[in-house]
Structure 1
């Protein structure tokens, strides 16, 4: 929604931490309304909501004509109402169909009375334009859902399912851009400004959904954000997806490295030229740029107070540079989405028009009007004006000379100086041809005196009607702008001359990485000089939009439901203030002292990414769990975040595509600043029992769904009664199992990590993999948890939320007797048919 690549306001973060309402408030005057001094202050409320009025906003958008005059009152009325809550069901979640069924058959009916009382026809309903009823719209605002007692059960349902990754709470219009990107399972996708990560999660869903069942996609998603702390939100959001096809990076989007391998330098270093990839290029790019964010007024009414036209003007140059860098990283034939959560044409159509002018025939603005026909959207504008301190300006020729540093020629529909087009191709003092399309430098723009009597409005001759603008009053949503671009051929040479990006920035980054003694400041100076050749605004990193409240809430509340087990160290959550690094104990050389600042290549403060090559560790894991290399290769797919592999705490699994990108990154001098990579698959058990087991690495609950089909040892099939008992008590002594035979089977397991699978009633006490030859039979209905087999007990190694979610699934589907007990208390859930419902 145009939030990536900016710094969130500190006051907003503090407000969310303190659970304040998402409404800006101000103290009410102690004086009475009539101005008398006889008012009694203590009888009046201390705070009052802000008045949702901004004359500048209304004047600006009336003049721009974003809506017709007859729609204006409705447009403003909807803008002043709270934004309805929306959420999306994870299409790859194990309980996807079941959750949709609960929404359709339970909450749609149970909440109906509350909706009618509030004047709505429906309480919740699927968004008609989103495929397969996966996205839902609620007619209650987020505040109403949190505060209304009648909606408490619905609120708890949303919170739990969001935490375990079955649903994602996301603004409806924010779900639109990935649907127009046409992502396939083998695509390399870049999300340039990704935090807080809702759209990244959506892209990962699409990649996995399009892949073959039981296999990992050949594609990947690189999610980038400039802000270190926002990267934590991004990591937390995507962690719920349990994917090995993701890399999270921390770069300025306009300087995102292309990781181009120079053949001559590669040969000098002894690097093979036969690498799978020699340049990081993408099939799809989502460029959801920083913006003024006035499309989010309903969610963040404090924007009413702060909004002014200068916000959009100040971000215009940065938006162009981000979009152009995205196109330079895009493969020929690939598609890029340019999107904002702003209604401002200076941030929307003007940027798209400038992109098309600079790229010429190499980039096409696609007409996608036949896609998602039930989504109501409006065509892009062909004409608009620019607002400056001096008033309205219809053409660049009317811009006063002293304002041309802030009001650029690219902001206008034609992108040209219409006074005298011949002057735009005259050579400057340096002898360079300086056309109007290079209008990012004030010094290069020809100065022409404005002519007051020439006030004809400019109209763009580009097909900007192919852009999409979603307006709040059309579908009771926020506002959004989307343009779909396709790269037809390589960008023209004039692009590289103008921007200093592409090959130039890549070579600068490569040169920096190859000089070990080069200071970061000197590199910043060289790249800054490149960017200064573009615009004074090119290095702006403004956070003008609003944080995704759901992502912030979940990061803050991540540990609230987790039960700490000091002896077994259950799964941990990432919190907002936590560094993107390994734990202190991961580096044994620093135990008892202050930990050294980690270094990832030349990137200070980031743990290194290291391939695990220790044969003892890898073979120990393979032997302990009975994993065969031909079925699930571990060599070359395991990475750690610690140079000292002998004391690695966590081991991450990466897909084939991520592995290839990491190999390229090492070959080019680690140009990528990686905050997170791959899927946490194994975690060292540091408790006393962990040191005495044959394999100290337990399977993480995140990695279990991926590795489960390939395990042939340390697997225990458990009937329903004992499975529920494990989830409820978290730890059970062998002698306390409901089924005595199960205690013996658990005793037969080797001490250490194991996997407990819910039996379908056919083989309650079966033990898979005693010979180490038969893999676990897994299908869509298989339910499993990671556990630890101790000396005399079995302990669950999963979060409290995961356990609670499974128990609720069973409670919803398990028939009850008159006495309230579960039918089949001997362990049978009702045979195979019952297992399908679970």
Structure 2
């Protein structure tokens, strides 16, 4: 293909980075050579911890042991190695290319395993450096997290996994709001995050630099502004750190890209800092090495926030990186360098104040830009990347309402002073002024800001006690599944009319957001499917809804009936045969099923002790028929469970 023909040279690029002095110049050749090498393949075992650890154990045992002595021609194959800085050995790097994996018989099983687990979403191909921002966010299960530029969603998936880190609680009290400006890319998010079956995620479609205010009702029923404990701000960038993967950047690179993108990046970061709760943390990241997109954006934001925001010193054990720089220059499209904004000719209006260091040596030292992390390709065989972690110490100077009363309730209609006028008033006394486009902040009061849907999303309709279906689910789930304390009012459907076939479950906070913002926030997707209407051919069924595999983790903790214990021998039987007859199952399982009415149920495997071969709990949605029983899961899920119990697929 054309990738092989691309000449990995660009004189402008070399000249720019040599002169910019943001690397140790003695390592420049090493840096450049590393940029020309193909990137090693990296994959991550995804999902919630106990499953991920079991899959890792089986992968090492069933696949990596074959690879230790393997030769391709005269070359000994290096087996995959874990990334030293990624927790629990859940991320792996391999120098095997796809061609080798397909050609060599011993690698064939590994290849089949990788494909099956990628399709079911339990393994994901992800660049090593892109795994870093979510790890540095330090997410806990009670946090409200916003991912501002989330598509395609591999970082978001990491955030959702961290939200579910407390394995005793399948419904975290926190939330992950995943946003993307591009409607089509939002559906990539639906696919990526949907595999995790979390009731605590919300996918929305807005311009990050003008992300709307979201209101929630507090316990007293009053409207309060939603502020986030953690925000990921992985902004659109020139991508010049990705040349190892996107080789066409060698041809397309020019110095103007960064200047064009800087303003958008700056606006997104400022909006993120406004939405962040005091005491909260924001991670700003790019896959560019250009200081105009990196340190300049961070420094301008810190400067304009007047002491409200600081850089945090962070690291990951085993990760190599270089500190951020505190001096840089700006190059225009004619390749002229400028050290300060005063040197820029009047006609170069696209070069703004915010692209330059915002002060002298004292100001810059006080900012601690060395706390930013620059990841260079020759340091650890990765792509190029930039990350900064910012903490908000107090409300921003122009957030007047929040300065007056951080915890006080804000009127929903909004006051006539918007954040935008607050910001402009604040900046009038400051020199240099912010470009007005960068201050296009919080939109005016609610009543003016109802969006006109240009796209048609299915509605989100919660079951209410007036709803006939509510009664059906409420009564049947209580009597049939023993769901005593299950919050039925957090169940929604995606249709207002006709027979509701699929029912979804969301956490309390997601419901609060949807009910209070449905006309102001463009929600693309939320909820995990918990019930599906059975094709009720036999009228002797007690419950016309069946449970769904996706929702089993959410719903099983509430069930006091129809959860049947199962041993691995029977699990394997069900996975390998579509509908085993009762006499093919173990006597113990037959006894457990004997008095159960036909219909939907959950098989639950629990390890007998810590040394059990399958060391984690498994929940399998099943159906009890008259003569046989079966599982309700698709082929990808079936393959995944076979890998979990260690049966070669």
TM-score range, shorter chain: 0.7 to 0.9
Aligned partner (choices 302, 322, 335) of residue 281 of structure 2: 335
Q: Does 1:622 align with 2:460?
A: no
**Superposed displacement of residue 280, structure 1:** 1.6
Equivalent residue for 1:534? 437
Distance 2:455 2:66 in 1: 53
- The 1:325/1:374 distance shift into structure 2, 3 A limit, reads same
Q: Does 1:352 align with 2:298?
A: yes
- The 1:460/1:320 distance shift into structure 2, 3 A limit, reads farther
Distance 1:151 1:312 in 2: 42
Render the CA deviation track for 1:307-336: whole Å, top value 9, x for unaligned.
211111111000011111111111011110
Instruction: Judge which range, 136-145 or 470-479, deviates more.
Output: 136-145
Q: Does 1:204 align with 2:148?
A: no
- The 1:344/1:121 distance shift into structure 2, 3 A limit, reads farther
The SS at the match of 2:198 is: coil
Residues 31 and 377 of structure 2 are in contact (CA less than 8 Å); yes or no, is this contact kept in structure 1?
yes
Equivalent residue for 2:84? 128
Distance 1:49 1:149 in 2: 31
Aligned partner (choices 217, 220, 227) of residue 175 of structure 2: 220
Report 1:629-778 matches (<5 A).
629-630=484-485, 633-644=486-497, 647-666=499-518, 670-685=519-534, 687-689=535-537, 693-718=541-566, 720-734=568-582, 737-738=584-585, 748-758=595-605
**Superposed displacement of residue 661, structure 1:** 2.3
Distance 2:99 2:143 in 1: 38
**Superposed displacement of residue 232, structure 1:** 1.5
Equivalent residue for 2:396? 491
Residues 480 and 542 of structure 2 are in contact (CA less than 8 Å); yes or no, is this contact kept in structure 1?
no
- The 1:679/1:462 distance shift into structure 2, 3 A limit, reads same
Distance 2:164 2:26 in 1: 45
**Superposed displacement of residue 89, structure 1:** 2.5
TM-score by length of 1: 0.66
- The 1:186/1:761 distance shift into structure 2, 3 A limit, reads closer
Aligned partner (choices 384, 397, 411) of residue 328 of structure 2: 384
The SS at the match of 1:217 is: coil
Distance 2:218 2:342 in 1: 55
Distance 2:172 2:392 in 1: 24
Residues 276 and 282 of structure 2 are in contact (CA less than 8 Å); yes or no, is this contact kept in structure 1?
yes
Render the CA deviation track for 1:699-754: whole Å, top value 9, x for unaligned.
111111221233233344455554433222323455x6345886686575434322
Equivalent residue for 2:189? 234
The SS at the match of 1:361 is: coil
Residues 215 and 517 of structure 2 are in contact (CA less than 8 Å); yes or no, is this contact kept in structure 1?
no
- The 1:759/1:473 distance shift into structure 2, 3 A limit, reads closer
Residues 701 and 785 of structure 1 are in contact (CA less than 8 Å); yes or no, is this contact kept in structure 2?
yes
The SS at the match of 2:233 is: strand
**Superposed displacement of residue 215, structure 1:** 4.7
Report 1:418-567 matches (<5 A).
462-493=367-398, 533-534=436-437
Q: Does 1:190 align with 2:25?
A: no
- The 1:602/1:228 distance shift into structure 2, 3 A limit, reads closer
Distance 1:739 1:133 in 2: 36
Distance 1:789 1:743 in 2: 11
**Superposed displacement of residue 377, structure 1:** 0.9
Equivalent residue for 2:630? 795
- The 1:391/1:810 distance shift into structure 2, 3 A limit, reads closer
Equivalent residue for 2:430? none
- The 1:299/1:120 distance shift into structure 2, 3 A limit, reads farther
**Based on CA coordinates, which of the two structures has the bigger radius of gyration?**
1
**Superposed displacement of residue 164, structure 1:** 3.1
- The 1:118/1:325 distance shift into structure 2, 3 A limit, reads farther
The SS at the match of 1:703 is: helix
Distance 2:607 2:312 in 1: 51
Equivalent residue for 1:158? 114
Aligned partner (choices 449, 457, 460) of residue 606 of structure 1: 457
Residues 93 and 166 of structure 1 are in contact (CA less than 8 Å); yes or no, is this contact kept in structure 2?
no
Render the CA deviation track for 1:478-511: whole Å, top value 9, x for unaligned.
1110111111111112899xxxxxxxxx989999
Distance 1:414 1:392 in 2: 20
Residues 320 and 375 of structure 2 are in contact (CA less than 8 Å); yes or no, is this contact kept in structure 1?
yes
Aligned length: 605
- The 1:150/1:628 distance shift into structure 2, 3 A limit, reads closer
Report 1:7-86 matches (<5 A).
24-25=2-3, 48-86=4-42
Distance 1:233 1:690 in 2: 39
The SS at the match of 2:241 is: helix
Q: Does 1:374 align with 2:318?
A: yes
Distance 1:783 1:212 in 2: 13
Residues 226 and 250 of structure 1 are in contact (CA less than 8 Å); yes or no, is this contact kept in structure 2?
yes
Residues 58 and 644 of structure 2 are in contact (CA less than 8 Å); yes or no, is this contact kept in structure 1?
no
- The 1:694/1:604 distance shift into structure 2, 3 A limit, reads farther
Distance 1:688 1:750 in 2: 15
- The 1:461/1:807 distance shift into structure 2, 3 A limit, reads closer
Structure 1 residue ranges without an equivalent (≥5):
1-22, 26-47, 262-270, 417-455, 497-505, 512-530, 539-598, 763-778, 815-838
Residues 58 and 646 of structure 2 are in contact (CA less than 8 Å); yes or no, is this contact kept in structure 1?
no
